[in-house]
Amino acid sequence: MLTTTAEQDLAVEVTQHQTGTVITVRGEVDVLSCPQLEAALDRATEGYPSEVEVDLSDVTFFGCGGATVLARAARRARRGGGGLRVLGAPRLVRVVLPVVALDRLTGDRPARPR
């Protein structure tokens, strides 16, 4: 499933794998586009246990709203016995995540091959 809107400049692709869900994000994660990412993460973490990988390697902007959305999804996945990991986090993401104590989600994981 690929969702994109021109005014938000964000694309979110959700792919199901045997081991869980991969959410690939492209573009700007800001206050206007966070609801789109949040909706995808909510769907991915509603089944239990949820193993979710979020590939941010093609993100061009990442605001604090994006970090809040990731934190909420990570808590939801953990409560259900699963987990959430961030893949391919560019520097602009790695700068924001420690500010909200989410740097443990990255662990320098590369993006999945496409």
- % of residues, the chain, pLDDT over 70: 79
Beta-ladder partners of 5: 10
Provide the pLDDT for residue 3: 47
pTM for this predicted structure: 0.80
Q: Which pLDDT score, from 0 to 100, does residue 19 have?
A: 80
Report CA 103 to chain centroid distance, whole Å.
13
Torsion of CA 104, 106, 107, 109, to 10 degrees: 160
* Contact residues for 108 (Cβ-Cβ < 8 A; gap 6+): none
